[in-house]
Amino acid sequence: MQHSIDAKGRTLGRVASDVAVLLRGKSHPTFERHVIPTDLVKITNASKLKITEQRAQGTTYRRHSHFPGGEKKETLAQLRARKGVSELLRKAVRGMLPNNRLRAIMMNNLTIED
């Protein structure tokens, strides 16, 4: 089933949570958590998301190279400038999906258009 979500004027977390529920297949009455979901989700107007300045400066993403002193941090605004809004959405949705083998399959069913 194909779903389309318009992100114009909506906040990042609200869009991401709606997308995560659809990708997971929880809207179907036959939902089972071990079955590969087949729902496709398309997000349009991703560049028109409502992100406040306080959120852009206050949210930090961290990663670590597993070497001493290898922690790297960047704010939401820096990530948006470097990778674009579609990467912000992808990162938010990925964090709301379960950490198992099906997550990569569910993420492949997501398409984002600016």
Q: For 37-42, what is the mean pLDDT?
A: 94
Task: Report pLDDT for 108.
Answer: 97
Task: Report pLDDT for 70.
Answer: 97
Residue 16: other Cβ atoms inside 10 A: 24
Is pLDDT of 1 > 90? no
CATH 3.90.1180.10 at 2-52+85-112, yes or no: yes
The string over 69-85, giving b where at least 16 C-beta atoms fall within 10 Å of a residue's C-beta and e elsewhere, is eeeeebebeebbeeeeb
Is pLDDT of 114 > 90? no
How many Cα atoms occupy the beta-carbon half-sphere of 28 within 13 Å? 16
Q: Do strands 40-44 and 60-64 pair parallel, antiparallel, or not at all (unpaired)?
A: unpaired
Beta bridge mates, 40: 2
Q: What's the alpha-carbon Rg for the chain, to the nearest Å?
A: 15
Q: Would you give the end-to-end CA distance of the chain in angstroms?
A: 22
* Secondary structure element (H or E) that encloses residue 83, with its range: helix 76-83
pLDDT, one tens digit per residue, over 54-111 is: 999 999 999 999 999 999 999 999 999 999 999 999 999 999 999 999 999 999 999 9
